[in-house]
Amino acid sequence: MERTHLILARQERHWTQEEAAQKLETNAPTLSRWERGITTPRPYNIRRICEVYHKTAAELDLQHSFASLSQEKIKDQVLFPLPPTLQRFQLDITTRLMALVIAHHTLTDLGLLQDRITNTVKEMDTTMDTDTTYQIDRREALTRLAALPLLAFGFDSHGIEKSYKAAELLPQIAAAVTACSYLSQGGHEDITLAIQTLSSYLAPLKTIIRESAEHRKDAAHLITQNLLLLSTLNIHQSGSQSAIPIAEQAVQYSKESDDPPLQLVALKRLAWIYSCNRQYTQASTQAVLSEHILKTTHKPVPTPIQWSTYGGIAKFQAQTGQKEQALTAIEAAHTCRTKTGPVYNDHNQSTAYLDEGLTYYHLGWYEKAFNTYTQAISLNTLTPTAKVSSERIRVELLNNMTLTSLKLPQKRKDKELSIRLWKAGIQGSKLLQSEQRFQEAIRAYDIMEALWGDDADIIELQEMTAHW
């Protein structure tokens, strides 16, 4: 029987069978037989297909073939059976992540290494979610992976810089940046650690771009990912003004990488930071550039990046009053909904709700905006009902729910609900020690004070507005 979803996954990327087969490390006739259901891919091939298409085996009509590799049977995923005394390492996340980096010489590109690290972390997260010690082990593993290039290629015991080859260093930095992307999803301590680690890799990457024609594009791709994370985290620690030049650098390096999908992510990030700094015209300009790239590039753009890009276009056009264009972009985003994407594209269902809610908010459709946010955050528990990509996004959703609740028509305003939302947002902002999130919460408090300034409940909240 024809595997329809496997065929659609290839067609979504506008690849011929020959192009897809090359990326899947097979040949076109074999891929054709897989798609037509004549033959079944081997477990290794299924893993590779999932990584390249950014989908699960179930989403590709391959779940039955992949049964032996289910999350409940991690032990079946090794190519060679381990002796009983070594089997405990199959559930050790540090060992598994380090093994991926060591084995990189068998891979064809750095993106595949990052995908494999991402898939391993996701798999372990699902399998070990009931293990109370796992989160500690996970954080330690990611920290070690982030530090690996510094230990391998940094300075020796005498403080002398070690020499390195670009081909050896780039895979380890790719792994480190991926680890930092996970660390950045956590709290203040992890964000600080990610900033310090990412900053350490800027100089060697710039050196490779300057001196190595062979590895320039790979280094440009990694430094763009690095700067995207740094700009995002910097806005939380220092504010939007200091983050702008970092995001502008990310856009410049994304051009050097010759990777339109990465450039689209960089343009959206820069537009967001401009918007945070109230430079709405500049944000809208980046949205226009994004739309132009989407329409003119001859290279395939993964569906998750199209989804994110259209959501950003809608939000930034709404800020400058371009109603029809914003609504058209929202409709386009709806047609691109999917589950997974490259590690550098920090976008999922929760951020999609955030983009859409902000679009309606800027158009003055406050009820529609608020209802959109409630699809991501439960009003009863104030906990996420859709998977959030980071703690930063969770708090941003709460802050925007608060602001929107205060803009609802008078008959729908609910002081108690607004206060409850605001408390959750300000507490989250302080735990993150995020300047951006804190200022969002303070802006909401100012509106509450204007609406109910003489109310004892509002006056009581004033002590919570103190900076940490």
Residue 69: how many other CB atoms lie within 10 Å: 17
Model confidence at 74, in pLDDT bands (50, 70, 90)?
very low
The tens digit of pLDDT for each residue in 119-160 reads 888 888 877 766 667 778 889 999 999 999 988 887 555 555
Model confidence at 396, in pLDDT bands (50, 70, 90)?
very high
Angle at 15 between CA 7 and CA 295, to 5 degrees: 115
Angle at 146 between CA 142 and CA 148, to 5 degrees: 115
Question: What is the rounded CA–CA span in Å between residue 402 and residue 181?
Answer: 28
- Cα-to-chain-centroid distance, residue 379: 25
SS (H, E, C) 167-209: HHHHHHHHHHHHHHHHHCCCCHHHHHHHHHHHHHCHHHHHHHH
- pLDDT on residue 73: 40
Angle at 174 between CA 168 and CA 175, to 5 degrees: 100
- pLDDT on residue 93: 87
Structure tokens at 194: 């990610």
Instruction: Tell me what the mean pLDDT of segment 213-233 comes to.
Output: 96
Question: What is the rounded CA–CA span in Å between residue 350 and residue 11?
Answer: 26
Model confidence at 37, in pLDDT bands (50, 70, 90)?
confident
Where do the domains of the chain lie? 1-70, 380-468
Pairwise pLDDT comparison (213 vs 386), residue with the higher score: 213
* Confidence (pTM): 0.80
Structure tokens at 440: 């969002």
Model confidence at 78, in pLDDT bands (50, 70, 90)?
very low
SS3 6: helix
Residues of the chain by 3-state class (helix, strand, coil), percent to 5: 75, 0, 25
pLDDT surpasses 80 at 70: no
Instruction: Give the torsion sign (CA, 315, 316, 321, 327).
Output: negative
- pLDDT on residue 431: 95
SS3 329: helix
DSSP 8-class letter at 27: -
Structure tokens at 14: 């506008």
pLDDT surpasses 80 at 344: yes
Question: What is the rounded CA–CA span in Å between residue 101 and residue 199?
Answer: 21
Structure tokens at 117: 């690290």
Instruction: Tell me what the mean pLDDT of segment 438-458 comes to.
Output: 95
Instruction: Tell me what the mean pLDDT of segment 335-361 comes to.
Output: 88
Angle at 417 between CA 409 and CA 453, to 5 degrees: 75
Q: Which of 104, 185, 102, 95 is nearest to 141 (CA)?
A: 95
Partners of residue 107 on adjacent β-strands = none
Class of domain 1-70: mainly alpha
Residues above pLDDT 70, as percent of the chain: 89
Q: Where are the alpha helices (DSSP H) in 201-257?
A: 202-211, 216-237, 240-256
Residue with tokens 């996701």, as numbered in its chain: 122
Question: What is the rounded CA–CA span in Å between residue 430 and residue 433?
Answer: 5
- pLDDT on residue 90: 62
Angle at 403 between CA 399 and CA 405, to 5 degrees: 115
Q: Which of 456, 453, 407, 402 is nearest to 427 (CA)?
A: 402
Residue with tokens 């999130």, as numbered in its chain: 437
pLDDT surpasses 90 at 340: no
The tens digit of pLDDT for each residue in 150-191 reads 888 875 555 555 667 888 899 999 999 999 999 999 999 999
